[in-house]
């Protein structure tokens, strides 16, 4: 009876807790399946449409930051970082010298293409650009020379020299650094992206669910490195690429930050971790999950309670981050508030969350770095922007009595900004249960074994 009452109480508590956040903060009910993305030809149409929509916001972005023009100059293979976010889906490099001139679309340039664009290897671009500058007479011109922010600092030194030499003192003296233009442009999302981002998240989960199963892992035989390469090959088969080599490791009190996997043989009773992401349709995912290798030889059917408690603590930290992460606050402010709240709840751990989207580590405010747990210069001083994707990356420390050791429970999930009322939600829920590796699994052939 006591158990029954306790259970009812828990259910009520859980339902009310999650009422205001929908299902987005729960472990998805159904196993993930490999989603098919559109053909490359269809993707190109979709991507160019998104690109055009994002470009159409540049005039207002320039006005917001008080400039009348934004000049990007680059050569083939020495491109500005911004180029990757403004190119068409059928371009793979800015050929020869490519100069892009964004204007705030007022006065003489209203109605002209925005940006004006030159592809040149004869030097004629400079004459034509000078004519445009005379006609438009911008009082200031943003260029990407920031020394801290990559998305505002992609102008190569040689290109800057070429600009100075060919445009002369008058225009060079009107050049200003406004890194937030590039940062805010790269950070911006358009609404049509979400459905495909959801598919990408489901693919990411499908990969993890397959990797962390008896199909790929045979205890005492498979190594963490085998699993990493399984991910690489499987992504290739799924026509996906990645922005980071997958890192698979066995979690021990020592294993962190783990820039590479641990190269361990996976054994029964291990707590496994993966950190990886996929790249497709101009977007990236970044996810960390944990798995438990059941001690099947001893009849074990679930993860030890102490491990489950650790995962719960890390889930609570995710709630805390999403709760405090209000647009307009700086990354450092959010980080400080989260650390204070964790302290008041008796949680120890670390937060190192970052924007995601056009890049795995994309433009915008970060909240912590693994080596800068309390304050991040420059990147942490930026403001959280709405209408972006964020990767909520963190760990909770938890003492696991069954093992007599304190472990880091490391999880990461990608979130998107819904609206003022709902705030941030995870794109495909979050991990609240361990993936369980159950070997030998009846009727399942281990794919890595078959290959060897």
Ligand X SMILES: *[C@@H]1O[C@H](CO)[C@@H](O)[C@H](O)[C@H]1NC(C)=O
Minimum Å distance from CB 242 to ligand X? 15
Which of 21, 24, 59, 391 is the binder for ligand X (CB under 6 A)?
A: 59
Residues whose CB falls within 8 Å of the CB of residue 34, separated by 6 or more in sequence, listed in order? 203, 206, 238
Mark 193-232 with x for binding to ligand X (rule: CB under 6 A) and - for no binding.
----------------------------------------
Minimum Å distance from CB 35 to ligand X? 9
* DSSP-derived secondary structure letter, 152: G
Please identify, using beta-carbon distances, which residue of 53 and 309 lies nearer to ligand X: 53
Please identify, using beta-carbon distances, which residue of 17 and 56 lies nearer to ligand X: 56
Minimum Å distance from CB 134 to ligand X? 20
Minimum Å distance from CB 52 to ligand X? 9
Please identify, using beta-carbon distances, which residue of 116 and 323 lies nearer to ligand X: 116
Cα 164 to Cα 150: distance, rounded to the nearest angstrom: 21
Contact status: 263 vs ligand X (CB under 6 A): no
Contact status: 56 vs ligand X (CB under 6 A): yes
Cα 350 to Cα 166: distance, rounded to the nearest angstrom: 50
Contact status: 36 vs ligand X (CB under 6 A): yes
Residues whose CB falls within 8 Å of the CB of residue 236, separated by 6 or more in sequence, listed in order? none
Minimum Å distance from CB 111 to ligand X? 4
Cα 23 to Cα 321: distance, rounded to the nearest angstrom: 17
Contact status: 115 vs ligand X (CB under 6 A): no
Beta bridge partners of 416: 389, 425
- Kindly state the tokens that stand for 382: 């930026």
Contact status: 41 vs ligand X (CB under 6 A): no
Please identify, using beta-carbon distances, which residue of 188 and 318 lies nearer to ligand X: 188
Contact status: 114 vs ligand X (CB under 6 A): yes
Minimum Å distance from CB 72 to ligand X? 16
Quote the longest CA-to-CA distance of the chain: 87
Mark 160-199 with x for binding to ligand X (rule: CB under 6 A) and - for no binding.
----------------------------------------
For 77-80, the CB contacts below 8 A with 24+ separation are 78/156, 78/158, 78/159, 79/154, 80/144, 80/154, 80/155, 80/156
Number of chain positions touching ligand X (CB under 6 A)? 10
Cα 373 to Cα 367: distance, rounded to the nearest angstrom: 9
Please identify, using beta-carbon distances, which residue of 111 and 328 lies nearer to ligand X: 111
Residues whose CB falls within 8 Å of the CB of residue 232, separated by 6 or more in sequence, listed in order? 242, 245, 246
Mark 94-113 with x for binding to ligand X (rule: CB under 6 A) and - for no binding.
-----------x----xx--
Tell which residue, 183, 171, 173, has the closest CA to residue 101: 171
Separation in Å, CA 194 to CA 197, 389, 416: 5, 10, 9
Q: Quick check: 99 and 126 in contact, CB under 8 A?
A: no
Contact status: 328 vs ligand X (CB under 6 A): no
Contact status: 238 vs ligand X (CB under 6 A): yes
Please identify, using beta-carbon distances, which residue of 62 and 272 lies nearer to ligand X: 62
The DSSP-derived string for 239-302 is T-B-SS--EEEE--SS--S-SS---PBP-TT-EEEEEE--EETTEE--EEEEEEE--GGGT--S
Which of 14, 239, 241, 406 is the binder for ligand X (CB under 6 A)?
A: 239
Contact status: 244 vs ligand X (CB under 6 A): no
Cα 334 to Cα 14: distance, rounded to the nearest angstrom: 26
Please identify, using beta-carbon distances, which residue of 138 and 364 lies nearer to ligand X: 138
Contact status: 404 vs ligand X (CB under 6 A): yes
Minimum Å distance from CB 40 to ligand X? 8
Using CB under 6 A, list all residues that contact ligand X: 36, 56, 59, 105, 110-111, 114, 238-239, 404
């Amino acid at each position: 009876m006591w158990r029954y009452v306790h259970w009812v109480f828990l259910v009520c508590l859980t339902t009310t807790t999650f009422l205001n956040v929908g299902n987005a903060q729960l472990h998805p009910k159904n196993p993930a399946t490999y989603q098919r993305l559109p053909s490359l030809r269809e993707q190109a149409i979709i991507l160019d449409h998104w690109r055009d929509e994002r470009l159409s916001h540049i005039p207002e972005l320039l006005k917001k930051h008080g400039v009348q023009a934004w000049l990007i100059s680059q050569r083939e293979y020495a491109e500005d970082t911004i180029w990757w976010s403004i190119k068409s889906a059928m371009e793979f490099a800015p050929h020869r010298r490519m100069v892009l001139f964004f204007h705030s679309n007022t006065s003489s340039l209203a109605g002209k293409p925005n940006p004006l664009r030159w592809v040149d290897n004869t030097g004629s671009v400079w004459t034509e650009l000078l004519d445009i500058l005379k006609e438009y007479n911008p009082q200031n011109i943003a260029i990407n020379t920031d020394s801290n922010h990559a998305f505002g600092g992609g102008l190569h030194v040689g290109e800057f020299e070429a600009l100075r030499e060919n445009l002369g003192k008058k225009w060079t003296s009107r050049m200003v650094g406004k890194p937030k233009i590039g940062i805010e442009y790269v950070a911006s999302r358009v609404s049509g992206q979400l459905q495909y981002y959801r598919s990408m998240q489901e693919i990411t989960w499908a990969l993890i669910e397959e990797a962390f199963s008896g199909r790929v892992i045979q205890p005492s035989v498979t190594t963490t490195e085998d699993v990493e390469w399984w991910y690489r090959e499987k992504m290739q088969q799924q026509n996906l690429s990645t922005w980071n080599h997958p890192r698979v490791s066995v979690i021990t009190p020592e294993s962190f930050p783990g820039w590479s996997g641990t190269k361990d043989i996976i054994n029964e009773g291990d707590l496994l971790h993966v950190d990886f992401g996929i790249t497709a349709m101009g977007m990236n995912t970044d996810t960390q999950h944990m798995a438990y290798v059941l001690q099947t030889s001893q009849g074990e059917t679930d993860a030890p309670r102490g491990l489950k408690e650790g995962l719960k603590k890390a889930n609570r930290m995710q709630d805390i981050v999403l709760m405090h992460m209000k647009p307009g606050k700086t990354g450092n402010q959010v980080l400080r508030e989260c650390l204070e709240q964790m302290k008041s709840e008796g949680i120890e751990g670390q937060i190192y969350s970052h924007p995601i989207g056009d890049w795995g580590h994309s433009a915008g405010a970060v909240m912590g770095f693994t080596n800068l747990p309390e304050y991040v210069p420059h990147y942490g001083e930026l403001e959280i922007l709405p209408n972006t994707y964020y990767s909520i990356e963190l760990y909770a420390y938890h003492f696991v009595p069954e093992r007599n050791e304190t472990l880091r429970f490391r999880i990461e999930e990608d979130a998107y900004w819904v609206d003022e009322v709902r705030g941030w939600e995870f794109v495909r829920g979050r991990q609240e249960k361990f993936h369980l590796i159950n070997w030998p699994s009846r009727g399942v052939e281990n794919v890595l074994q078959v290959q060897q």
